């Protein structure tokens, strides 16, 4: 049975995960990583490889952590979940409920810390900001490969020395969020469901950012966003917040109650009524 729900180091199997995306395999960078890479390969139903593929996606397992890499004829792009260093750590460290539009959209500024389900976890950056601002966040992710990156990011963050209260606020669950939200027991219903689904690549316009290129190569644009929005609206006690590109139409064509619009991103807020 594939993957995992984890909280504070505990893991348990769950069973509604789709098959993993099309990675060519897992490349251990040094002999010390072979056992970890092997365990991951078994879990993802992937193979170990000895060198990067000529083209395509693969996971690179090194002493510094796990990377998802996309090799093309011209480039080798890499992403990983990073909470303890770099731009994301700086942003989270300086975040406030007033400065972060996502926090205002989720009602953290008005109501204080609350329970949020991030139903499209991705690399966990939005969830990290919310958790740093005191929210309890359950992250749901359907891709076993992305889930492995998130676990690796949490694992590295948990080994850092500075205070990590926020890590205890986050819980990771693998599987289809629409199913999880529909079967959510009354006592588990979150105040807020946050959605940031993949956005279809425009036929014209600039190249998407590195993360988006790799995520699109792994996942495509195949989110069933209409049913996800419906499930989210049925589960959320107070509101659903949807992150969209600034000029995109609303999800499922459903107009939100209000919007918070930033330079390139917009948060559509659907209140529970």
Binding residues for ligand SAM, rule: CB under 6 A, are 119-120, 122-126, 140-143, 146, 176-178, 196-198, 215, 219, 223, 228
Which residues have CB under 8 Å from 163's CB, separation 6+?
none
Query: Which of 133, 138, 104 lies closest to 121 in space, CA to CA?
Result: 138
Q: How far apart are CA 235 and CA 272, in angstroms?
A: 9
Closer of 49 and 88 to ligand SAM (Cβ): 88
Closer of 176 and 238 to ligand SAM (Cβ): 176
Q: How many CA atoms lie within 13 A of 145 on its CB side?
A: 26
Shortest Å distance, C-beta 5 to ligand SAM? 13
Q: How far apart are CA 233 and CA 205, in angstroms?
A: 32
Q: How far apart are CA 205 and CA 21, in angstroms?
A: 26
Closer of 49 and 133 to ligand SAM (Cβ): 133
Closer of 14 and 48 to ligand SAM (Cβ): 14
Shortest Å distance, C-beta 120 to ligand SAM? 3
Shortest Å distance, C-beta 225 to ligand SAM? 8
Shortest Å distance, C-beta 89 to ligand SAM? 14
Q: Which residue has the tokens 């990583």?
A: 33
| CA dihedral angle for residue 228, residue 232, residue 234, residue 237, rounded to 10 degrees | 180
Residue nearest to ligand SAM (CB): 122
221-226 LR contacts (CB < 8 Å, sep 24+): 222/198, 223/120, 223/197, 223/198, 224/178, 225/195, 225/197, 225/251, 225/252, 226/251, 226/252
Shortest Å distance, C-beta 176 to ligand SAM? 5
150 close to 141: Cβ distance less than 8 angstroms: yes
Closer of 61 and 140 to ligand SAM (Cβ): 140
Shortest Å distance, C-beta 7 to ligand SAM? 17
């Amino acid at each position: 049975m594939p993957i995992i729900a984890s909280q504070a180091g505990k893991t348990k199997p769950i069973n509604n995960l789709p098959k993993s995306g099309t990675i060519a395999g897992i490349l251990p960078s040094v002999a010390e990583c072979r056992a970890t890479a092997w365990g991951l390969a078994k879990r993802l139903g992937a193979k170990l490889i000895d060198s990067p593929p000529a083209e395509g996606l693969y996971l690179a397992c090194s002493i510094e952590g796990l990377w998802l890499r996309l090799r093309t004829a011209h480039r080798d792009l890499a992403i990983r979940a990073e909470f303890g260093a770099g731009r994301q750590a700086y942003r989270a460290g300086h975040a406030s409920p007033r400065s972060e539009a996502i926090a205002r959209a989720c009602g953290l500024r008005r109501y204080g810390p609350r329970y949020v389900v991030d139903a499209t976890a991705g690399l966990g950056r939005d969830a990290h900001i919310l958790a740093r601002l005191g929210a309890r966040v359950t992250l749901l992710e359907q891709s076993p490969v992305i889930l492995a990156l998130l676990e690796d990011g949490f694992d590295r963050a948990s080994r850092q020395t500075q205070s990590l209260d926020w890590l205890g606020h986050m819980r990771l669950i693998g599987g289809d969020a629409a199913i999880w939200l529909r079967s959510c027991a009354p006592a588990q219903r979150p105040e807020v469901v946050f959605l940031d689904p993949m956005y279809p690549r425009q036929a014209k316009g600039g190249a998407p950012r590195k993360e988006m290129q790799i995520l699109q190569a792994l996942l495509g644009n195949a989110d069933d966003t209409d049913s996800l929005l419906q499930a989210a609206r049925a589960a959320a006690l107070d509101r659903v917040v949807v992150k969209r590109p600034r000029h995109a139409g609303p999800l499922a064509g459903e107009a939100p109650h209000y919007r918070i619009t930033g330079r390139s991103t917009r948060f559509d807020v659907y209140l529970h009524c």
